[in-house]
Structures are given as structure tokens and as C-alpha cells.
């Protein structure tokens, strides 16, 4: 049974309408088709079109399954309508939608053109930044869901994973056993991203220098994967041996909401001093960023302050597998998607608000060994970040 209440859905709608009106004074209608956004406003994910008007009215035109939408969503019955085509929705709404805003990041052009066959739209704009901003501040319900995920996530990586690692297993085999353990602990079964065409199943895993293989994914770590056809599914040839570092960067999720955490291990011996040093450096950076996750702080200023403090000898290997493959952020929002607002990066100049949730992931490449570093999920408070996933942990030695 869905635990989301009508009151929470109405509050989300009100916040969205207020921000849309502030940013786009002439807007009239928002057309939403992306699954996560539909869930955020309706508490159900169905094939259909969600329309929110400036006057506060809402209609969710559902093609499949109307029965399930009515069962799962607390919205009033009159706000959920069964449709077969966009023509049915046009008859319900009327043909002229006025100034319309859609999801520019995810709506295919062909879908926009199909809508234009049945609706008159005076102008089409993009609502992505508005809905992502509204979603960035979490309600008590959302925070509790993230806390549950984070607690299981911490136990998984800090207590359970070491027992899964054994000499001679491949990355592919490890991912299979890791996946089984995740499901056993209540994992929701999928990790959702806002970024276009992300196909990560579990996360980034790398034995030894495999964690330094560059990828197209916008993250500091690397992995080889099963091949160019599946670059994140674990190397089926690389076997774990003594003296290997093990890099595990995965999301966990419960009730639709994610936590994000990374843990580094060292198998069959003591880690080299340079690897230990790089890892400790990342823990210290994470603590520095976390202390700045206060209500009113500006993410871009946090980024500039921290990056200015990185020693020259660390700069080429910080936040990337090599100097040519470095990312330009230190942390990102987490919620229904793993990559939410706000981002600790240049260009994010709106102040942090209480109850935003962010993952902080300082990482450092160590040539010939692997990726060192940490990632944990934090709640923004007036006094600094509250860690939900246990906090940056030393390298775990597995013997």
C-alpha cells in the first residue's frame, strides 16, 4: 500500500505552481510524462500524461493501467481519467493549452510533435529545473525513506560485502552476489537517474586498476565492465587476487528513494602507504564539505572554497581517473533519482535549504593501484551535514 498522502501530493503541487509562476509569469500548463515526475505528483507510475494547470487543477490521463492508478494514487477520482489516445485527453482538457512547459531533458521530439497534433500551444518552454528544484527539498516522509535506505546501505557495504569477497572470483560474479545480498536486504530493484540514457544496473565496481578505466558516465570513478556493449556490468575476466584494491560505488533504494555510498576495500594484505594517504585525504575533504552543508550556504561557493584548498600534488588525480577524465563537481542531490539538485559545482548559486539531501564523493586515483575515496549521503541542517550512511570509513582490509 502506498504511504503517500493526498495532503503531501497537494503540497508538492502548490510548491511547483508557485515556483513556475515565479520563473515563468505567463505559463498556463505543465505537461509531464517522465515516470519519476509523474510519481512525485501522483504516487503512481502509469503510461499516460500528467497535466498541471496554473489554476491548480490537475488531470492524469492514463492509458495503462487505469485500474492500478486508481488503486495506488490518493488523488481524487475526478483527477484521474482513462484515455486511449491524446485525442481523448484533448476532449477532456480542451484544445488550447496556452503557454505550455514540458520536460526538455527527457521528452522525445516525436512525442512533442504528437501532442501538437491534438493541442494548440502558444509557446513551449522547459520545466526541468523547476521540478528538480521543488524535489530538492525533502518532506519528512521522503527523509524517512532515505534514512531506511541509508541504514541498509551502510550495513551492506561495511559489514556484509567483506564476506562476499573471495580470491579468484570475477567482478561479474561479485556483482551477482552483491545484487543477491542487496535484494535480501530490501533493495527496491532499480537505480534511477535523471541523466539521459544511463544503463547502470548496480553501480561501479572495480578490482585493482579496473577502477581507473575511464567511462562516459559523469562520475569520478571508473570501471571496465563486461565489454563495450555493457560497460558497467562487471568484468567477466578480471579475477580478484591478493594485493588488489576493490572499489564499490553503488546506490541503494527503498520506497522509491535512494542513498548513495562508496566503500573501498583491500584484499589479502596491507594497502600501500600512498593508497592509504590518498584515501585519508578524501575523508578529510568529505568532512570539510559536510561542515559547510548548512542552510543558506551557496553550493558554487562551497565548490570553489574546497577546490582552492586541494594541494597541487593532488589536483591531477582528484575527482577523476586521470587528468583528462575529471568531473567538475564534489557532490550531488539524492532522492527519487540518484542525480538530483542541488549540485556542489559551479553555476549552482541558489542557497542550500534545510532538508535537502546530497551525496558527497571526494575520490582520488592512485596510479597502478586503483581508486581511493569515499561517498556518503548527507542531510542539510542549520548546523552542517548530518550523515545518513555512516560517514567516510577507512579502507576495509579483507584477509
**Residue range 367-394, pLDDT digits in tens:** 999 999 999 999 999 999 999 999 999 9
Alpha carbon separation from 385 to 114, 310, 389 (Å, rounded): 45, 21, 12
pLDDT (0 to 100) of residue 2: 64
For residues 39 and 125, membership in a common domain is answered with yes
- 286 belongs to a structural domain: yes
Residue 224 belongs to domain spanning: 137-398
For residues 256 and 386, membership in a common domain is answered with yes
What residues contact residue 58 under an 8 Å CB cut-off, 6+ apart?
13, 41, 50, 51, 52, 75, 79
- Residue pLDDT tens, the chain, 399 long: 568 999 999 999 999 999 999 999 999 999 999 999 999 999 999 999 999 999 999 999 999 999 999 999 999 999 999 999 889 988 888 878 999 999 999 999 999 898 888 998 889 999 999 999 999 999 999 999 999 999 999 999 999 999 999 999 999 999 999 999 999 999 999 999 998 888 787 899 999 999 999 998 899 999 998 889 888 888 999 999 999 999 999 999 999 999 999 999 999 999 999 999 999 999 999 999 999 999 999 999 999 999 999 999 999 999 999 999 999 999 999 999 999 999 999 999 999 999 999 999 999 999 999 999 999 999 999 999 999 999 999 999 999
For residues 81 and 150, membership in a common domain is answered with no
Domain boundary among 134, 159, 193: 134
pLDDT (0 to 100) of residue 181: 98
276: cell is 592509504
Q: How far is CA 88 from the centre of its chain?
A: 35
For residues 83 and 33, membership in a common domain is answered with yes
- Say how far apart CA 260 and CA 19 lie, in whole Å: 28
Conformational region of residue 329, where left means phi above 0, alpha means psi within -120 to 50, and beta covers everything else:
beta
Largest Cα span, the chain: 70
pLDDT (0 to 100) of residue 311: 97
Q: Residue 59 belongs to a domain with what CATH number? A: 3.40.350.10
For residues 69 and 205, membership in a common domain is answered with no
Q: Residue 344 belongs to a domain with what CATH number? A: 3.90.230.10
For residues 105 and 178, membership in a common domain is answered with no
* Interior/surface letters 99-108, b for 16+ CB within 10 angstroms, e for the rest: bbbbbeebbe
pLDDT tens readout for residues 22-31? 999 999 999 9
For residues 185 and 308, membership in a common domain is answered with yes
Other C-beta atoms within 10 Å of 379: how many?
20
When divided into structural domains, the chain yields a total of 2
Measure the N-to-C terminal CA separation of the chain; round to a whole number of Å: 44
Domain boundary among 102, 134, 166: 134
pLDDT (0 to 100) of residue 232: 83
pLDDT (0 to 100) of residue 79: 97
Q: State phi, psi for 378 to the nearest 5 degrees.
A: -125, 150
pLDDT tens readout for residues 190-199? 999 998 888 7
Amino acid at each position: 500500500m502506498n504511504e503517500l498522502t493526498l495532503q503531501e501530493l497537494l503540497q508538492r503541487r502548490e510548491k511547483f505552481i508557485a515556483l513556475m509562476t515565479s520563473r515563468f509569469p505567463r505559463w498556463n500548463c505543465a505537461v509531464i510524462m517522465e515516470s519519476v515526475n509523474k510519481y512525485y505528483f501522483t504516487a503512481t507510475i502509469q503510461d499516460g500524461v500528467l497535466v498541471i494547470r496554473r489554476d491548480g487543477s490537475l488531470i492524469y490521463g492514463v492509458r495503462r493501467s487505469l485500474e492500478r492508478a486508481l488503486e495506488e494514487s490518493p488523488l481524487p477520482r475526478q483527477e484521474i481519467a482513462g484515455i486511449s489516445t491524446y485525442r481523448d485527453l484533448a476532449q477532456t482538457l480542451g484544445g488550447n493549452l496556452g503557454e505550455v512547459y514540458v520536460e526538455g531533458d527527457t521528452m522525445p521530439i516525436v512525442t512533442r510533435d504528437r501532442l501538437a497534433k491534438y493541442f494548440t500551444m502558444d509557446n513551449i518552454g522547459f520545466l526541468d529545473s523547476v521540478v528538480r528544484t521543488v524535489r530538492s527539498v525533502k518532506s519528512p516522509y521522503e527523509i524517512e525513506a532515505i534514512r531506511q535506505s541509508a541504514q541498509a546501505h551502510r550495513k551492506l557495504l561495511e559489514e556484509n560485502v567483506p564476506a562476499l569477497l573471495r580470491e579468484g572470483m570475477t567482478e561479474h560474479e561479485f556483482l551477482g552476489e552483491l545484487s543477491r545480498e542487496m535484494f535480501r536486504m530490501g533493495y527496491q530493484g532499480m537505480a534511477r537517474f535523471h541523466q539521459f540514457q544511463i544503463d547502470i544496473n548496480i553501480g561501479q565496481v572495480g578490482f585493482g586498476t579496473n577502477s581507473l578505466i575511464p567511462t562516459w558516465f559523469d562520475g569520478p570513478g571508473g570501471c571496465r565492465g563486461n565489454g563495450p556493449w555493457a560497460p558497467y556490468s562487471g568484468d567477466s575476466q578480471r579475477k580478484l587476487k591478493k594485493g588488489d584494491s576493490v572499489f564499490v560505488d553503488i546506490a541503494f533504494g527503498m520506497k522509491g528513494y535512494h542513498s548513495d555510498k562508496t566503500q573501498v576495500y583491500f584484499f589479502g594484505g596491507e594497502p600501500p602507504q600512498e593508497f592509504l594517504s590518498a584515501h585519508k585525504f578524501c575523508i578529510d575533504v568529505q568532512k570539510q564539505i559536510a561542515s559547510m552543508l548548512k542552510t543558506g550556504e551557496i553550493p558554487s561557493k562551497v565548490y570553489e572554497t574546497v577546490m582552492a584548498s586541494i594541494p597541487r600534488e593532488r589536483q591531477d588525480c582528484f575527482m577523476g581517473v586521470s587528468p583528462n577524465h575529471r568531473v567538475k563537481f564534489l557532490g550531488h542531490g539524492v532522492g527519487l533519482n540518484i542525480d538530483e539538485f542541488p549540485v556542489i559545482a559551479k553555476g549552482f548559486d541558489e542557497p542550500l535549504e534545510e532538508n535537502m539531501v546530497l551525496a558527497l564523493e571526494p575520490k582520488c586515483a592512485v596510479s597502478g593501484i586503483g581508486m581511493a575515496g569515499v561517498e556518503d549521503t548527507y542531510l542539510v541542517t542549520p548546523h552542517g551535514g548530518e550523515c545518513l550512511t555512516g560517514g567516510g570509513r577507512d579502507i576495509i582490509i579483507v584477509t
